[in-house]
Amino acid sequence: MLEINTWTFWLRHVLEVAATMAFTLSGVMAAARSRLDAVGVYAVAFLAAFGGGTLRDLLLDRRPFFWVAHVEYLWGVMALTTAAMLFMRQRHFAPTEKAMQLPDALGLGLFTAVGVDVSLDYQMPALVAVLLGVVTGVFGGVLRDIVRSEIPSAFSDHRPYALCAFLGGWVFWGLQTMPMPAWLALVGCVLVTAGMRLWALWANWRLPLWRVD
């Protein structure tokens, strides 16, 4: 049991690092599309990378925050942001909406899985844990768009986003109640959440609009 718990702990850490890097890239590309200066690019990248996890930790009264406990996350985001800016400048990379979709979808799946896992460790009820997984996966992107004076894409493009995180969170909860290795719940949540988001983008699946006459 100790080996499984240790393996799950390290897998969660790896997923959190991967999610942080994925949302960092989405933040850099979003900032580049808005033609921000270097300070603005770093600010947007940090908000995208840490916003959702910070809100989760605040709601759980979890101290220190995940990025305070792992200062290497800060160095990693700074290094990746710097490298991405240099690459875009030298390669004349066009930071289009389509280019943002892959890191954004991966970050959504990865952070949702980590958010649900951390919340269940804090003995949260299933619904609360799933919703905190959604917060972890979605809120960084919401902040990324708000500071750029845009309606968050999670609410405005009408293609399932938070819904993917919500369903993926329930997949996590369902798998962890079964007699199987704990890490499968993390992997299953990532695959379902990110996979559904990418499929929705590819198929252009849109949620019905709420119309008020």
Owner of token pair 């972890």: 136
Retrieve residue 123's tokens. Answer: 């003995």
Phi-psi region of 150 (alpha: psi -120 to 50; beta: other; left: phi over 0): beta
Mean pLDDT computed over 197-206: 88
- Alpha-carbon gap, residue 4 to 43, rounded angstroms: 37
What is the number of helices (H) and of strands (E) in the chain? 9, 0
- Residue 60: pLDDT band with limits 50, 70, 90: very high
- Residue 56: pLDDT band with limits 50, 70, 90: very high
127-163 residue pLDDT tens: 999 999 999 999 998 999 999 988 888 888 788 889 9
- pLDDT (0 to 100) of residue 1: 33
Q: What angle do CA 135, 138, 139 make, to 5 degrees?
A: 70
- Residue 106: pLDDT band with limits 50, 70, 90: confident
- Alpha-carbon gap, residue 113 to 168, rounded angstroms: 8
| For the chain, domain boundaries | 2-203
- Alpha-carbon gap, residue 112 to 107, rounded angstroms: 8
- pLDDT (0 to 100) of residue 180: 79
Residue 175 phi, psi (nearest 5): -70, -35
Retrieve residue 65's tokens. Answer: 């925050």
168-190 residue pLDDT tens: 999 999 998 888 777 888 889 99
Q: State pTM to two decimals.
A: 0.85
- Alpha-carbon gap, residue 44 to 179, rounded angstroms: 41
- pLDDT (0 to 100) of residue 201: 87
- Report the amino acid identity of residue 177: T
